[in-house]
A = this chain, B = another copy of it.
Amino acid sequence: MPSTELRILAIPGIPEITSGSDLGTTIAQSVRQANLKIEEGDIFVVAQKVVSKAEGQIVPLDAVEPSSMARRWAAAHDKDARVIEVVLSESQRLVRMERGLIIAETSHGFVCANAGVDTSNTARDQVSLLPKDSDESAAQILRTLEEEFEVELAVIVSDTFGRPWREGQVNVALGMAGIAPLLDYRGHSDSFGRELEVTIIAVADELASAAELVTGKTTQVPVVVIKGFSYSPEDGDSHQIVRPPDKDLFR
């Protein structure tokens, strides 16, 4: 059942995250310092960038030797050839490579700009990669938070993706634990008793988008908690939200 009130709270005071940081413990500490009450069913949304940092998914560009393809593309589009090299190495399929943009499918199956390689919010001459397995990242954070707060919770790892047809970017879910990414209305009836045509809602992506409204982009708030969303606590993972290439009309 849908909720009648949802609250999305920033978790203040998360310190700078570095390689090896225990994110779950760090989040729990900030929650306690802020005197936030954690309740059964609360959903933590954690920005990909801090997960990647904690897991050491950071590449120093000094160590990157660009291929000739990376060099050509970079020269043609005024880019850093080392960054392009990292993008290509993170790609398992190039979906579009034109007008200076690289839209690539990652090893996880996500289709996004630059295969998720990101130069913002990292030190100069470094780029961040997506977590190796964001579902496992979410599960690890979830285990710690559930132990700390002794209630069932959920965790979503979120990232900022562009999309075709519409300007601007939105946050989506990269990985999750304790919640299924899709809410399936098939078999439910609408208010006229007719079976619903719109049947599967990507609630994990909507939760990630909702969280972005609180985290913003320029502040040090990489984690929020969402309260009041009703869901059945079941395990889901990002594979359920990645459309298989053979079912996709745009790959």
- Which A residues form the contact surface with B (CB < 8 A)? 1-10, 12, 96, 98-99, 101, 103, 110-111, 118-124, 160, 163-172, 181-183, 185, 188-192, 194, 196-198, 200-203, 205-207, 209-210, 212-221, 229, 240-243, 248-251
Contacts and interface: CB of A to CB of B under 8 A. Distances in A.
Nearest to A126: B192
Given A2-B213, A196-B218, 18 more contacts: A6-B213, A8-B8, A96-B250, A103-B249, A110-B165, A120-B196, A163-B163, A165-B251, A166-B241, A168-B181, A168-B201, A168-B202, A169-B200, A170-B202, A170-B209, A185-B218, A206-B210, A210-B213
Nearest to A6: B8
B2 A221 contact: yes
A122 B191 CA distance: 8
How many identical chains are in the complex? 2
Contact of A202 (B166, B198, B216): B166
Given A167-B200, A206-B170, A249-B99, A7 B7 contact: yes
Contacts of A220: 191
A120 B7 CA distance: 29
Nearest to A221: B2
Q: Which of A160, A192, A210, A220 has the most CB of B within 10 A?
A: A210
Nearest to A205: B170
Q: Which of A192, A198, A218 has the most CB of B within 10 A?
A: A198
6 contacts: A3-B214, A165-B242, A166-B202, A167-B181, A167-B202, A191-B218
Given A118-B197, A206-B210, A209-B206, A172 B164 contact: no
A188 B218 contact: yes
Given A192-B123, A202-B170, A164 B242 contact: no
A121 B243 CA distance: 27
A213 B203 contact: yes
A198 B160 contact: yes
